[in-house]
Structure 1
């Protein structure tokens, strides 16, 4: 037998780091290390190779409880991740239910997901959420072919020679209100979703989730929680990302959209601060969906595709940056924007304000069209959704600077039939990036320029967040 075909596996533990050596694959670094104790149950398993690995199309990853060898979780690589693996297909709502795909329950909602994601030389394995619990030892079996190496082989682990680790004896103590998320396992949780699942639904006091600097690749879904503060350790260094969109996770007519990286549903009195959210797929690919009351975004960076930031309820956005691929803000709610920058390759917003509430109010903001032909907001005819447009759409600009916006500024506004007399596309003192007044002589005829002293009462109202947000006066925790 040729020597190159002989596989020799040696497991060694050096300074807490397990390396699996075989003569073809070289060293494989495991996280958590083989034999490790005090592991968080929400851990993602990582294998780092000397060269970039690839993902197989067959084989299983099985996890057993060592106490009784009961199978607690399994990932079958022969099952496709989604009806549109790369998010470039077109799938009708509910059609995906006819076929079996990789499914994970996240925050109580089903999502399609990637069981393994490869970044550079590291394969990250995503077990199903909440399958591991505290105080148990787990054995991981990885069948041959699950992970492949160019010019080498990785034969995985067997039940007789498994990857083994033990979870912490218990979670955060009762009554604790501040927890830490750290991808390296040094916090109370490894994942943001793990911390959100732990957080009480309606606590009397604020619950704080601090995210240690690092990269977190996960879909996050939070529903029916309140008095929650989720914040990065130091602004700009914490990044949350995932490849997701409406083709990878098609809409479900019986529930909320599933195409975002980070979603809030039915939440209240919540603030997120000082981290970045990235959606890596094209199309309808929200980075953030907010559905709730009294939600604050402070010092956030939101980067997505179409509808990068979708809003329902009452929201206050402060000192943040939003980037998207057209209709960058899809707005159903009342949102007060201050000192925030939005960059869009198409229309900045598609504002769908229902009757009886305020819409999007921008004060001292920056609205940038990246290709030089963007509009501030549009109301296109939308027969696909059976809508009679949005006759009470409201978007107000006060002391806001713009660039790359067409001379018409707004539109298209379409019907038929459509009465636009109640639409409020209003501006006051719109400037260019250098602070010089914009020429508004060619603005779309449904829009309006506010002027003093005639419109003094409107300007007083729109400069006051509480008047826009139904009496709520938002106060950021770390201004």
Structure 2
């Protein structure tokens, strides 16, 4: 059995494949050197992976030189070794903006070193060969000391043809029948055929597009832009795990796309860090309508204050998804039978979002954003132990919703806790920043994307007919920062009705914050039709599983 994957001389290889080398024992990763991929037909260089982009500068964006990167990164908690810059959506002809971010190009698990090339650099029906500098990896392969790969005939392979379908493809991390090995590979294909600037008939909200992901673990950050009516469906909720470790200290900011990466520098814990602007979520979604995620686990694996075995104080916000789409007549997202796992800021949304019969886990502000309306229905919101502050119960929702719209509605769901979360320590919601002045005073009616402080920042949150465990604090809502809406009504502010404990007994809400109400009639928000009635100039939207 070959130590190389793809094996030398292999054919019909998926062109989003990950390269790997299996050693006799766990190999050691070096601190410098290159991994390169060339086209066999003309020896042209198609990809260059550096073990330390801070020392070499970026091959994917040559203007980001080593000196610039080093000058902009003075924090010390995140090591620079094994760091590259990626361009998600690279070479997708229908895109004009991409997701730029730092990533780890080589990962070691047991005896195997896996190499993640830059996104979408390989093409179908093409021959390639790989070189690896001596010192990139140290260990024995087949009883011989590994000294790199230098010959063009030592590690060569040919990719398979492109999928036959533009609108329905499969992903599998093993086997030969699926169209792609990675979720991003499938996304690049569908966006390239049916999204962005494509003139194909499939580039329409009326044409359904589907990516089916077979059981397996799929590691890598993701980017979806300018495509409508796309479903990503797993074959089993717990068997399909789509994941990455990404967080604020590593890739600062909530994220956005650009034609080039930014050169912005932001203050992180312990010093400045470059912000390429791709953000800290596993999945960034932009300009998209009718995205449906169903029947799989989306997970940000970041553990607070830990990175690559290094521990220290860090900024730990780490979304699974940032749904950054916010128009009144589009911008719909559905999540059914899903698991969303992270710690701080698990889900960030804008637009119109329906989550149904799903599990969302986190500790601090683990549902947040600026939606027009987000309905969480028949789901479980599970507060987990904050490993950086075990005595704190955290906050469920951090609301910055659009003025004049329902905001966050949690309906017929359960608020549960992980073992170890203190009783009476978790808040239903809070505003982490002061939005009491200059925000939340005018209703957005434009055809463009929500923008401008006056149009959002509202504390519109309604809990309706939910069961709650003992971790919910008697005050309900944290009022350290005065919310914009201090006198709630049935249509706005902090609202709650029909709350019960897990056994069905009515909860005593008499000690709830004075900024909230438990007496307003919330029957106007207890169905999907009502929550989403304002979509598309009051045409309304009633999503179904």
TM over 0.5: yes
Q: Does 1:172 align with 2:160?
A: no
Measure how far apart 1:61 and its partner are. Answer: 0.6
Distance change >3 Å, CA 122–CA 133, structure 1 → 2: same
TM-score by length of 1: 0.83
Higher-Rg member (1/2): 1
Equivalent of 1:428 in 478, 488, 497: 497
Quick one: structure 1 residues 155 and 96, their matched pair in 2 at CA, closer, same or farther if it must change by over 3 Å? closer
Aligned partner of 1:287 in structure 2 is 320
- Aligned to 1:352, which of 390, 400, 405? 400
Q: CA deviation at 1:327?
A: 0.4
Shift of 1:263: 1.8
Alpha-carbon distance change, 244 to 82 in structure 1, aligned in 2, over 3 angstroms: farther
Residue 193 (structure 1) aligns with:
184
| Cα displacement string for residues 410-434 of structure 1 (whole angstroms, at most 9, x for unaligned residues) | 1125239x55124521111101111
Output the CA distance in 2 between the equivalents of 1:58 and 1:244. Answer: 23
Q: How does 1:142-221 map to 2 (within 5 A)?
A: 142-149=132-139, 153-168=145-160, 170-173=161-164, 175-184=165-174, 186=176, 187-199=178-190, 200-201=194-195, 202-203=203-204, 204-221=206-223
Q: Given the superposition, is the C-alpha separation of residues 430 and 241 from structure 1 closer, same or farther in structure 2, using an over 3 Å criterion?
A: same
d(CA) in 1 for partners of 2:412 and 2:482?
A: 32
Structure 2 counterpart of 1:42, from 16, 26, 37: 16
Question: Which residue number in structure 1 is paired with residue 65 of structure 2?
Answer: none
The alignment status of 1:106 with 2:98, answered yes or no, reads no
Asked whether 1:328 is paired with 2:366, we answer: yes
Cα offsets for 1:421-449 (capped at 9, x unmatched): 24521111101111111111111111111
* Correspondent of 1:376 among 409, 423, 428: 428
Matches within 5 A, 1:441-456: 441-450=510-519, 455=521
- In the other structure, the counterpart of 2:50 is 76
Deviations 1:283-305 (A, max 9, x none): 11111111332210011111113
1:263 paired residue among 256, 271, 284: 284
Aligned residues: 430
Which residue does the alignment assign to 2:224?
222
Aligned to 1:341: 380
1:352-376 C-alpha deviation (Å, 9 max, x unpaired): 1121211111111112353331100
Q: Determine if contact 1:263/1:290 at 8 Å carries over to the other structure.
A: yes
Alignment partners' CA distance in 2, 1:254 and 1:267: 13
Relative to structure 1, the CA distance from residue 434 to residue 249 in structure 2 (aligned partners, 3 Å threshold; closer, same or farther) is same
Contact 2:458 2:485 in 1 (8 A): no
**Separation (CA, whole Å) in 2 of partners of 1:211 and 1:401:** 33
| Residue number in structure 1 paired with 2:460 | 394
Q: Is the contact made by 1:337 and 1:363 (CA closer than 8 Å) also made in structure 2?
A: yes
Measured at CA, do residues 95 and 73 of structure 1 come closer, stay the same or move farther in structure 2, by a change above 3 Å? closer
Task: Spell out the pairing of 1:60-71 with structure 2 (5 A cutoff).
Answer: 60-71=34-45
Task: Note if contact 2:54-2:69 (Cα within 8 Å) is conserved in structure 1.
Answer: no
In structure 1, the partner of 2:339 is 301
- Indicate the residue corresponding to 2:198 in structure 1: none
Alpha-carbon distance, 1:147 to partner: 1.5
| Residues 257, 399 of structure 1: alpha-carbon distance in 2 compared, 3 angstrom cutoff | farther
1:438-464: CA deviation from partner (whole Å, max 9, x where unpaired): 11111111111136xxx2xx31x2112
- Deviation, structure 1 residue 161: 4.5
Residue-by-residue CA offset, 1:364-403 (whole Å, 9 max, x unaligned): 11123533311000124448x9978977321111110112
Q: Relative to 1, partners in 2 of residues 1:253 and 1:311: Cα closer, same or farther, differing over 3 Å? A: closer
The unaligned stretches of length 5 or more in structure 1 are 1-16, 19-28, 84-93
Q: 1:289 to 1:432 in 2, by over 3 A?
A: same
1:176 deviates by: 4.2
Query: What is residue 411 of structure 1 aligned with on the other side?
Result: 478
Match of 1:56 among 6, 30, 52: 30
Q: Once the two structures are superposed, what CA deviation does each residue of 1:72-96 show, in whole Å capped at 9, x if it has no partner?
A: 111121324999xxxxxxxxxx988
Query: What displacement does 1:177 show?
Result: 2.5
1:245 corresponds to 2:227: no
Q: Does 1:462 find its partner at 2:462? A: no
Task: Report if the CA contact (8 A) 1:81-1:114 is conserved.
Answer: no
SS in 2 for 1:410: coil
TM-score by length of 2: 0.73
Alignment match, 2:6: 32
